[in-house]
Chain A
Amino acid sequence: MQAGIVSYGAYVPRYRITPAEIGRVWGTDGEAVGQGLGVRRKSVPAPDEDTITISTEALRTALVRGGIDPQQIGAVYVGSESHPYAVKPTATVVAQAVGATPNMTAADFEFACKAGTAAIQACLGLVGAGMIRYGIAIGTDTSQGAPGDALEYSASAGGAAFVIGTEHVIARVERTLSYTTDTPDFWRREGQRYPSHGGRFTGEPAYFRHVTECARRLFEASGTSPKDYAHVVFHQPNGKFPQRVGRQLGFSEEQMRYGLVTPSIGNTYSGAALIGLANVLDHAGPGERVLLIGYGSGAGSDAFDLETTEELASFDRNHGLPVQHYLDHGVEIPYAVYAKFRGKIHMGGS
């Protein structure tokens, strides 16, 4: 009985804004910024959406697709850096909203953009040890960049939920390992509304080093090389970094095709690599090997060597919407509406 992914679901809010529109407000060539980042549009949550609602939508889809009895869920872990409460776990509301409470454990995970992959690892441990039947790992964010900051062109909203278990596994986890250091490339201090970052420092010593080192260690441990994988998914803070690291490691455009979603929806932080993985599973057939490498600032990478199983052939993907729908659709809004939706307008009062 090998643990793996039993079901999955993704959700991305309806609204979109373009880099050109953001640049128009700040007096910069937003289109050029977007091209530089490899981001055509980013998703924007509605005023009544947050990490809790997005996580719930994604998980409800996953439970219906997998035919999972919510009372068989033993753990709900939500990874995010935009939990609506500083104290009061997102996971409690999400678990209640899918009918999984009360005989279960729950917690919120935080590790910049890799909190969702960290949650998958925790669930793999619990189901692998036979302590629980199903574990839920979710990665969701509704992150914001400071107005006018480079991050504002990419920080978006979305999430994906994964049911981890040992029965009817659609993608076995052959191996997972991590690479973690103390690297201050991106952070947000307690009480601060927007994050800070080290500019170019977020590149070579942070994202590229951790992703490539983690990949190299996984190849070594598994005795694999890039050619063994049908699909690869990287954390994708923009459209450019994952493509560059993919080329550096020796992956082709074809292998990266489905795993790259940021150009169409922006950087969903904890959701980014996981929505990419959901898109791969939307398109993959049985017996395909998938490499997933998350990255979280601070910094660390989690790598997963996955292989889809025969169960995927009979898996019901028809409930909920495929990731492709979210990549292709959306309602573009002007910056003023975006500012209203994201609470950037000072309304007075208390």
Chain B
Amino acid sequence: MSVARFWRETPRRYNLAGSRCAVCGNVYFPPRAVCPSCPHHRQSIEKMLPFQLSGAGEVISYTIVHEAAEGFEMQVPYVLALVKTVEGPVLTGQVVDIEPAEVGIGLKVRATFRKLREEGKAGVIHYGYKFSPVVEEELGRRPAGPRASVPSPTGGHEQARA
């Protein structure tokens, strides 16, 4: 991806900058210039206001990636999820800081700031949002329990120390 193209997307990738229709109140991510929900689309023109998502949401579907996309080889197997944000929009993003087997539908997550990829050793580094589970202390309950036997990116030797 070119430096300029990524740079144009930094408000979205860094800060979840979306838009909200002042007519019907719907929130969109990525931001839209016209509201597709309003019966008369033209009414929403120039009424789409900047709106920043909080980053809080819930996994509504997910997949575990074993064949890495370029630049993600070090993280295999990793989780890619559809996250329904509390404001409404559904975002696709990686879920980190959790064993893949512990991810489930309904898992509460929050946006976290991570390195997305590097343009080789000398190129620019791209940053943006991923998701991480909301931990017990923040939520008052445990994340969704283990579901299936999936290899761990850390070799499966680890144990969380309580």
Interface residues of A (CB under 8 A from B): 14-16, 46-50, 52-53, 56-57, 60, 84-85, 93, 96-97, 99, 321-322, 325, 328-334, 336-337, 340-341, 350
> Which residues does chain A contribute within 8 Å of B138, judged by CB atoms?
321
Task: Please list 21 pairs of residues, one from A and one from B, whose beta carbons are closer than 8 Å in the complex, sorted by A's number.
Answer: A46-B97, A47-B74, A47-B115, A48-B130, A49-B115, A50-B125, A53-B112, A53-B113, A60-B113, A96-B10, A96-B14, A99-B15, A321-B137, A325-B135, A325-B137, A328-B161, A329-B160, A331-B154, A331-B158, A336-B155, A337-B154
Chain B positions 132-150 with a Cβ under 8 Å from a chain A Cβ: 135, 137-138
Q: How far is the CB of A192 from chain B (nearest CB, A)?
A: 16
> Which residues does chain B contribute within 8 Å of A336, judged by CB atoms?
155
Chain B positions 59-86 with a Cβ under 8 Å from a chain A Cβ: 74-75
State whether B97 touches A337 (Cβ < 8 A).
Answer: no
State whether A328 touches B14 (Cβ < 8 A).
Answer: no
> Which residues does chain A contribute within 8 Å of B96, judged by CB atoms?
46, 48
Q: Chain B: which residue is nearest A324 at the CB level?
A: B137
Q: How far is the CB of B90 from chain A (nearest CB, A)?
A: 22
State whether A85 touches B10 (Cβ < 8 A).
Answer: no
Assembly CA distance A209 to B19 (angstroms):
56
> Which residues does chain B contribute within 8 Å of A56, judged by CB atoms?
113
Q: Chain A: which residue is nearest B159 at the CB level?
A: A332
> Which residues does chain B contribute within 8 Å of A330, judged by CB atoms?
160-161
> Which residues does chain A contribute within 8 Å of B130, judged by CB atoms?
48
Starting from the known contacts A53-B115, A325-B137, 17 additional A-B residue pairs (CB-CB under 8 Å) come to A14-B97, A15-B154, A46-B97, A47-B75, A49-B115, A50-B125, A52-B115, A52-B125, A52-B127, A53-B114, A53-B127, A57-B113, A60-B113, A325-B135, A331-B158, A336-B155, A341-B74
State whether A97 touches B155 (Cβ < 8 A).
Answer: no
Partner of B160, one of A49, A53, A331: A331
Q: How far is the CB of A94 from chain B (nearest CB, A)?
A: 9
State whether A350 touches B127 (Cβ < 8 A).
Answer: no
The 7 closest A-B pairs by CB, nearest first: A47-B74, A56-B113, A48-B114, A48-B115, A331-B158, A97-B14, A333-B154
Partner of A331, one of B74, B115, B159: B159
Assembly CA distance A46 to B127 (angstroms):
14
State whether A84 touches B125 (Cβ < 8 A).
Answer: yes
Q: How far is the CB of B99 from chain A (nearest CB, A)?
A: 8
> Which residues does chain B contribute within 8 Å of A60, judged by CB atoms?
113
> Which residues does chain B contribute within 8 Å of A84, judged by CB atoms?
125
Q: Judge whether B157 is part of the interface by a CB distance below 8 angstroms.
A: yes
Q: Which of A46, A56, A96, A333 has the most CB of B within 10 A?
A: A46
State whether B127 touches A93 (Cβ < 8 A).
Answer: yes
State whether B155 touches A337 (Cβ < 8 A).
Answer: yes
Render B90-123 as a binary contact track against A, CB cut-off 8 A, 1 for contact. Answer: 0000001100000000000000111110001100
Q: Chain A: which residue is nearest B125 at the CB level?
A: A84
> Which residues does chain A contribute within 8 Å of B14, judged by CB atoms?
96-97
Assembly CA distance A337 to B74 (angstroms):
10
> Which residues does chain A contribute within 8 Å of B154, judged by CB atoms?
15, 331, 333, 337
State whether B159 touches A97 (Cβ < 8 A).
Answer: no
Render B1-37 as a binary contact track against A, CB cut-off 8 A, 1 for contact. Answer: 0000000001000110000000000000000000000
> Which residues does chain B contribute within 8 Å of A85, judged by CB atoms?
125
Q: How far is the CB of A60 from chain B (nearest CB, A)?
A: 7
Assembly CA distance A49 to B116 (angstroms):
9
Assembly CA distance A92 to B100 (angstroms):
33
> Which residues does chain A contribute within 8 Å of B52, judged by CB atoms?
99
State whether B161 touches A329 (Cβ < 8 A).
Answer: yes
> Which residues does chain B contribute within 8 Å of A14, judged by CB atoms?
97
State whether B161 touches A334 (Cβ < 8 A).
Answer: no
Assembly CA distance A330 to B160 (angstroms):
6
> Which residues does chain B contribute within 8 Å of A333, judged by CB atoms?
154-155, 157-158
